[in-house]
Amino acid sequence: MENRFAVKILAVTGICSLIQVVNAAVPDPTSWLQSSSIETTSSTVNPKSTLRWIDGKYLTLEGRGFTDTETSYSRLAKKYQGQVTGGVWTNSVSAAGVALRFVTNSPDISVKWGDVKDPMSHMPWTGTSGVDLYALENNKWVFRGIGMPSGVQNEKVLQTGKAMTATEYLLFLPLYSKVDKVEIGIGQTANIAAGTNRYVNNLPIVYYGTSITQGGCASRPGMAHTSILRRWLDHPSINLGFSGSGKCELIMADVLAEISAAIYVVETVANMDAAMVTSRAVPFITALRSKQPDTTILMVESPNAKNNDRNIEWRKAFEQMTADGMTKLHYLTNNEMYNTREEATVDGTHPTDLGFYQIALKYEPALRAILATQNPASVDQFQSYNSK
């Protein structure tokens, strides 16, 4: 039986030539806050509020590869509307994988966000439309609060009572909702700043795929495997999961290639039947490689055993391209991806939090191994959760 923590990379040809400089020294949160504190207060909230509200546009925005988007928190450039399929465009307006990073010494942290999508029958509303807060403590990202949706305009307290200590936070936005605006509320005497420069030299890991990639059906935005891996690896990521619409159209190779990435993770098998995999896999990967010749591409099988006919064709495509000489192309099987005694999905397809955790366990060593070829000095700066 394959060790579930072993790296399953079937073809590694040479060392990736993508150069990433070791991260610059990151100042401690206290000194960062002292030098970078934001004085601006949002003009859209009640001035008599006991909190001071900061518009998210002044904070560090993660998880987007484009700036000219429909909203400040959606995922594709406007120019792609009409070029990508309707399903891709509709899902791109959601904020899946988008996060705000900031430093504050406020004991109390609240969040305002709006335009919440109606609940789904098979996915918690907290996942589709909630927000999820993590704090960087003792070199780990630790859960600190969930903002549960309640309507068009939401205001939730995510953390109270913490000592007034400068801390870096990461706020994941809704997986399946359009978000027009986010505001962070802190104590009137507290300070807040954009996130530190800890990732200044890190290109993101870009995930392209299906509803599973987008986060269906995680209970919270931070429990999608892409979000879990962002924390475990302490490495920025971009979620280009499009529910029902991750099908390797050639235009999507153009979309991905426009984003400079450390790794492209392509996990579209679950949205493609076997014939579609056969006809599209090689042209798509080849097109992406032609536009980004030096970036590692990781092809991943569907985690669901019922998709094994498609996985077989996906594997054949990988073997054909490597036999033809394509380098920096890696492959991850679904063997033991759901290595659990209990069912890891909601409906036989979409993972629960347990399923996403198992997927992340499978991905982590493979991604760490690839990143190690690019930046050996920093790959182990975070403790692997596999040791727990």
CA distance 319 to 348: 29
The pair phi, psi for residue 205, each rounded to 5°, is -85, 125
pLDDT one-digit tens code per residue, 119-166: 889 999 999 999 999 999 998 999 999 999 886 667 788 887 678 899
Q: What is the pLDDT of residue 321?
A: 98
Look at residues 15, 21, 24, 54 and name the one whose alpha carbon lies nearest to residue 37: 54
The 3-class SS string of 177-222 reads CECCCEEEEEECCCCEEECCCCCCCCCCEEEEECHHHHCCCCCCHH
Query: What pTM value is reported for the model?
Result: 0.90
CA distance 192 to 186: 8
pLDDT one-digit tens code per residue, 175-222: 999 999 999 999 989 999 999 999 998 999 999 999 999 999 999 999
Q: What is the pLDDT of residue 59?
A: 97
pLDDT one-digit tens code per residue, 260-299: 999 999 999 999 999 999 999 999 999 999 999 999 999 9
pLDDT range class, residue 98, cuts 50, 70, 90: very high
Q: Which tops the pLDDT comparison, 52 or 385?
A: 52
Percent of the chain whose predicted confidence (pLDDT) is above 70? 87
